[in-house]
A and B are shown apart, each in its own frame.
Chain A
Amino acid sequence: MARPRGTDGSLLASLPWTLGALGLSVAPHVPYLPAWITFAFFGCAVWRYMIEKRRRPLPSAWFRAALALACFLGVLITYSSISGVGPGSALLAVMASLKLLETRKRRDQFVLLFISIFLVMSSLLREQYLWSLPYMLGAVTVIMTAWLRMSASPIESAKQSFAIGGRLLLYAAPLALAMWIFFPRLATPFWAVPIDSSRATTGLSDTMSPGDISSLSLSNEVAFRVSFDNQIPDGPDRYWRGLVLTTFNGRSWTGREPAISTTARDQIVTEGDPISYEITLEPTRQQWVFALDMPVMWSLSKTFMGPQQQLARSAPIDQRVAYKAISHPEYRVEADLPEVYRNWYSNLPADSNQRSATLAREMRAAATSDQAFINAVLRKFNEEEYYYTLEPPPLGSNPVDRFLFDTRSGFCEHYASAFAVMMRSVGIPSRVVLGYQGGEINPLGGHLIVRQSDAHAWTEVWLEGVGWQRVDPTAAVAPERIDYGASGAALEGLGDAWGLSAPSELLHRLSLSIDALNAKWNEWILGYGPENQQNFMKWLGMDDPNWRKMMLTLIGVVVSLVMLISVLLMLRYRPPARDEASILYQRFIKKTGLEPIAGETAIEFGRRAKEADALPDDVIALITEAYVDARYGPYREPAFERLKVAVGSIT
């Protein structure tokens, strides 16, 4: 058997660039990849570099095959699937790492850089943030540079390659823009990216067990943004209805799966002025659709109203969606509720939270009416020693009892749950609504930002003749939570805890600016879907835009852009003037510090410069060769370019 030959070190100069480009394209995947793949990538990268540096042989084909099989199985075991964005990108990343181990020639490096391009683009299948575009541009520029480094002459500096790579991308930019504008967006795409079901959902969960949560982490992530057509409602009116929980088992509240109700919308009797607005909802991977309490119209397709006036879409919200809606802050719902339903909404498990039930019955007996009873309970929360905290103690098996009588501290879910249980104990129909409350106005974008930290739970009770009525017991305990919103309240608390004042105004402004930018980005760039494209095409004067017309326009635009760019480049192109090469050469002569002699040819001078060790031999050889060729050879331009690069590298 032939002895494995070591690498010849010819890739040593360009390999770090290739590794860097590959690293940049793997980086956006790292938060989603299992740790072992990231380690595998780093391991392979370092290993490959050391092989090249020490001129060691590459691992044998058998070893590589075994490793590839192991990694394939590893991905299969980690994801129990090989299709979808997650397993797909994991497989791509790990195979790119292994490809490093058989990268022997330039051709293999090309393959690696192709994979880099693919990897960096595939990260867009997951998320498209504001920073994705600059990151993508940077990464692709580095990949281009790595590409150029492979064929760069030894004295071409990285800066020069980088500049060439950037320039090439600049030429491509108008084409990319044209593609983006004209490539037909289809309302029903030919293909869809499979979304990982394993991915944790953000947003609200559809059960509520306040006793089990000992600490609520505040996420600053944006849940949705709202832009109002007219004025923005006041803080205390901003209740964003989500899902409704109707069943309590003694510990936790649960709701029903999203289901359509044909009568729910008709049960709403509106009063007062409507509010019109547009919501841009971040993907939740759930079906719930949020709207200002109480929505009556909404523009999101396939979205229906459930029996408790909750909105849901028939398919999970996997991508950012924007929809218009109209709500009435003043409304009545189901003024007459049949006996059966009243019992349903008053149902409690028989032998749990007995102390609370007893307390409720006592208080109801003392009150003159249901409304008076409600007020009495709210007053109890307000006047007695109840605290609003995000870090409540665990509550055990009878959470409501323990909360009401012992711990007396909790957040919205605790109060909503306790309140609803007390209402149900005396036969008043009640339910818990989950959604968001409040939101921060971004003065720069003029829109309202609702964050995950604005998530809220409140109750609705049904009263004879009034219908379902919103009661927020948290407001009785911590009115500032409702007035200023959770973020403000929490930030102040945070500042106290750390012994700091509230975060500086500047930082806050900065985050607001970024948010405004993000909102515009979502609206104009990511929101450029079928509908916006149609409108834009119409605005451009295309009547009845369809994909055929757009495709033809795209081809036309691309062809004319290519021609335009070519013509511009041709016009800009100026063959080097006769003396330009000698001007460059004079700089080289100056750099050598030698006096030129009359009648001495460039080749003779080069020989003399080499003997004098004025500059590295290869630099002298390259410059001399390029100069003589540029000055006296038949193909002056390429030689002149070589000369320019070579002289540029020494000055």
Chain B
Amino acid sequence: MQRGNTLETLRTSRDEQRSVIESAQKALGRIILGKDPQITLALACLLARGHLLIEDLPGLGKTMLAQALARVLGLSYSRIQFTSDLLPADIIGVSVFRQNSGEFEFQPGPVFSQLILADEVNRATPKAQSALLEAMEEYQVSVDGNTRQLPEPFFVVATQNPGDQIGTFPLPESQLDRFLMRVELGYPNEESERELIAGKDRRSMLEEIEAVTGPDSLMALQQSVRDVHVGDALVDYIQALVRHTRESADIEIGLSPRGAQALVAAARAHAFVEHHSGVYPDDVQAVFTAIAGHRLKPAGGTRFRRPSETCQHVLDSVAIP
């Protein structure tokens, strides 16, 4: 088909992309009730080519969200339940000797999927954790001296129970940094909970979900996200926020330059989802807690008990230029 008008094509494709995102949001919203901001954040995280850490108490729908994401986005999906005896090979795969061919054959592990759900990632030993975290960083794994590319796109959605539970190995800050966002789900509101209790079974609903897009168009969306405009005024704002995290008495370690980059990338994706003409301060604010919450180290004796409170305080203290 001949494309006569480039601008027209661009506009159409933008409209198409918008409708893809909207239907994804809608489909996810039907499964995960009353969590629209978190759904938007999760989508934005994937669009920004970031990995997602969902942290909350058990039974709040963490796994459900990850599964629903995979289905809606039409990605190949595998789940790894992290346990204390999980070995790296359980994640990456092993080479098996085939007697009929007389050769070693690589049996790919669950990591060779487009979307990995790493369930209860803090239950495994640091060794197993780092096997996954390296794959997240490199987009490839090395087995028996061979480097194997992971499929594209490649997302890890990890869930984690808050670290104060018994028998866990909390991820160190450097490892946490590999996750673009950390999202807390929280309890559903009363209305949503009622629907959850009385309504249809979520698992069977999950089976019925149709994919609204596929790996290829998802990558096209990711490409579009990188083109979202970031103005000078917004860079000023990001810098002001970052500076504040470093200078604030409530925060011991502020955001690193990589943290600032993550903030911009996530804000771009959020602006894209929200169909803004460029990245607005609203987008930065929307993703800020998810980006900075696990990257900041609160100062001892701070009045804020939770990272989200610290982050909100930063947002409330920095004037928008």
Contacts and interface: CB of A to CB of B under 8 A. Distances in A.
Interface of A: 578, 582, 598-604, 628-629, 631-636
Nearest to B241: A599
Contacts of B316: 598-599
A579 to B, nearest CB: 9
A601 B286 CA distance: 11
Contacts of A602: 280-281, 320
Contacts of B280: 601-603, 628, 632
B229 A598 contact: no
Contacts of B320: 599-602
A632 B232 CA distance: 8
Given A578-B232, A633-B231, A599 B282 contact: no
Interface in B166-195: none
A624 B247 CA distance: 31
A578 B285 CA distance: 22
Contact of B281 (A578, A629, A632): A632
Contacts of A601: 280-282, 285, 320
B318 interface: yes
Contacts of B276: 628, 632-633
B315 interface: yes
B277 to A, nearest CB: 4
B242 interface: no
Contacts of B281: 601-602, 632
B318 A633 contact: no
Given A632-B234, A632-B277, A634-B277, A599 B229 contact: no
A633 B231 CA distance: 7
A640 to B, nearest CB: 12
B317 A632 contact: no
A631 B282 contact: no
A105 to B, nearest CB: 22
Contacts of A603: 280, 282
Contacts of A634: 229, 231, 277-278
A634 B271 CA distance: 13
Nearest to B316: A599
B279 interface: yes
Given A603-B280, A603-B282, A628-B280, A633 B229 contact: yes
A114 to B, nearest CB: 27
Q: Which secondary structure dominates where chain B touches chain A?
A: mixed
Question: Sorted from nearest, which 3 A-B pairs have the closest CB atoms?
Answer: A634-B229, A633-B277, A633-B278
Nearest to B286: A601
Contacts of B318: 598-599
Interface centre among A599, A629, A631, A632 (most CB of B within 10 A): A632
Nearest to A631: B233
A598 B233 contact: no
Interface size class of B (residues with CB under 8 A): 20 to 34
B300 to A, nearest CB: 25
6 contacts: A582-B321, A598-B317, A599-B285, A601-B281, A602-B320, A634-B229
A603 B276 CA distance: 12
A384 to B, nearest CB: 95
Contacts of B231: 631-634, 636
Contacts of B96: none
B236 to A, nearest CB: 9
Contacts of A600: 320
Nearest to B318: A599
Contact of B279 (A578, A582, A632, A635): A632
Contacts of B319: 598-599
A632 B285 contact: no
A604 B282 contact: yes
B317 A599 contact: yes
Contacts, number: 54
Interface centre among A578, A602, A631 (most CB of B within 10 A): A631
B315 A632 contact: no
A485 to B, nearest CB: 73
A603 B277 CA distance: 14
Nearest to B282: A601
Contacts of A633: 229, 231, 276-278
Interface centre among A599, A629, A636 (most CB of B within 10 A): A599
A629 B277 contact: yes
A628 B318 CA distance: 18
A635 B234 CA distance: 14
Contacts of A635: 277
A603 B229 CA distance: 18
Contacts of B285: 599, 601
A604 B286 CA distance: 12
Given A598-B317, A632-B233, 16 more contacts: A582-B321, A599-B315, A599-B319, A599-B320, A601-B320, A602-B281, A602-B320, A603-B282, A628-B280, A629-B277, A629-B278, A632-B231, A633-B229, A633-B278, A634-B229, A636-B231
Interface string B297-321: 0000000000000000001111111
Nearest to A636: B231
B33 to A, nearest CB: 25
Interface in B255-289: 276-282, 285
A636 B277 CA distance: 10
B45 to A, nearest CB: 21
A633 B278 CA distance: 4
A121 to B, nearest CB: 36
Contacts of B321: 582
B152 to A, nearest CB: 28
Interface in B212-267: 229, 231-234
A582 B234 CA distance: 13
A578 B236 CA distance: 11
A633 B281 CA distance: 11
B113 to A, nearest CB: 36
A578 B277 contact: no
Contacts of A598: 316-319
A504 to B, nearest CB: 67
Contacts of B278: 629, 632-634
A599 B311 CA distance: 12
B42 to A, nearest CB: 22
Nearest to B233: A631
A598 B285 CA distance: 13
A582 B233 CA distance: 10
B311 to A, nearest CB: 11
A636 B229 CA distance: 11
A595 to B, nearest CB: 13
Nearest to A603: B282
Nearest to A596: B319
B162 to A, nearest CB: 28
A632 B228 CA distance: 11
B143 to A, nearest CB: 45
A598 B313 CA distance: 11
Nearest to B228: A634
B54 to A, nearest CB: 26
A529 B233 CA distance: 60
A601 B271 CA distance: 14
Interface in B32-57: none
A339 B231 CA distance: 106
Contacts of B282: 601, 603-604
B258 to A, nearest CB: 23
A604 B280 CA distance: 12
A600 B319 CA distance: 8
Contacts of A582: 321
Contacts of A629: 277-278
Interface in B193-213: none
B12 to A, nearest CB: 19
A633 B285 CA distance: 17
A159 B233 CA distance: 32
Interface centre among B232, B233, B276, B316 (most CB of A within 10 A): B233
Interface centre among B281, B285, B317 (most CB of A within 10 A): B281
A599 B285 CA distance: 9
Contacts of A632: 229, 231, 233-234, 276-281
A632 B231 CA distance: 5
